[in-house]
Structure 1
């Protein structure tokens, strides 16, 4: 493994994400939104996440900037990053497949929205967030730069910590006790193992 290959793997992670997301985004656009929690905070959080997971690492991959933040490349970490990137894409695909027309980039409920509890949702309430956490970890392992490598954890982490509780309130308002029961038996982003 070389730094160039690690950068290429990061780029392929982004391309894979795009390929997986596009058909679902098109389908979702055809399903009207019945309730939304979009607003200025949502726009800011999505922008911060995009900067950390996309903009800063792509500048680094394309130009090497900011060079002052580089640290020595570790092939073993990059190999681990490649495996985590594959896991992120698999989980991303499974999440979209389970959500179907219920998916939205923002905090929206679609017309005829139903509570999805099958597929990967049987194990975690927010597998899309889990997939993005894996992306951010893969980015940190693949890109040996304190800014570009860690910006995904900071950018996505900011979105996650300011958004997940709001999303769960939206789901509780929409699905009531059914969502409350679902929360009790699943973890947010990691499976909850019951004794």
Structure 2
């Protein structure tokens, strides 16, 4: 494993992420929205997350900038990061499969929206966020640069901490006591951790 191979494999995982998502984006476009919480705050949070998980690492992979912030390369660390990234892809796919037409990039409720509590949703109530956290952790191990590595943790972490409470409020307003019961028995993003 070399730094270049680690970067290219990380980029391949990033592409795989979007390949997994693409069919679900197409399917959900036809669903009628009942409620859409896309506002300036949501757009800003999505941009911050995209910057940390996509733009900064993309520039680093493509150009090597900022090479002055490179760390001493560790092949075992890069391999570990790639294994974590593959695990995040598997969880990401399972999450999309469980959600089906209920999936959305933003905080939206669709006509005939259902609360999904099966599949990976048995273990955590936000497995998509779990998958993004794994991606961010993988990036920190694989892209061994003081800017590009932790950019995902900062970018996605910002989105997560400013969004998850708002999303849970939306779910509570939509599903009421059913959501409350589900939230009470199911951890937020880490299985078995309450």
**TM-score normalised per structure 2:** 0.98
The alpha carbon displacement at 1:13 in A equals: 1.1
Moved over 2 A (4+): none
In the aligned structure 2, how far is the partner of 1:131 from the partner of 1:193?
Answer: 16
CA distance in 2, matches of 1:193, 1:124: 9
Shift of 1:55: 0.2
Shift of 1:192: 2.2
Q: Distance in 2 between matches of 1:189 and 1:182?
A: 13
User: Counterpart in 1 of 2:111?
Assistant: 111
3-state DSSP of counterpart to 1:34: strand
Q: Distance in 1 between matches of 2:28 and 2:102?
A: 7
C-alpha distance in 1 between matches for 2:57 and 2:193: 35
Alignment coverage as a number of residue pairs: 194
Q: Does 1:176 align with 2:168?
A: no
Calculate the TM-score normalised by the size of structure 1. Answer: 0.98
Superposed CA RMSD: 1.0
Cα deviations across residues 21-75 of structure 1 (Å, max 9, x unaligned)?
0000000101111111110000000000000000000100000001121111111
- Give CA-to-partner distance per residue, 1:103-144, whole Å, 9 cap, x none: 000000011000000000011000000000000011110001
| Structure 1, unpaired ranges of 5+ | none
1: CA distance between counterparts of 2:38 and 2:51? Answer: 19
Q: Provide the residue aligned with 2:81 in structure 1.
A: 81
Provide the secondary structure at the position in 2 that maps to 1:146.
coil
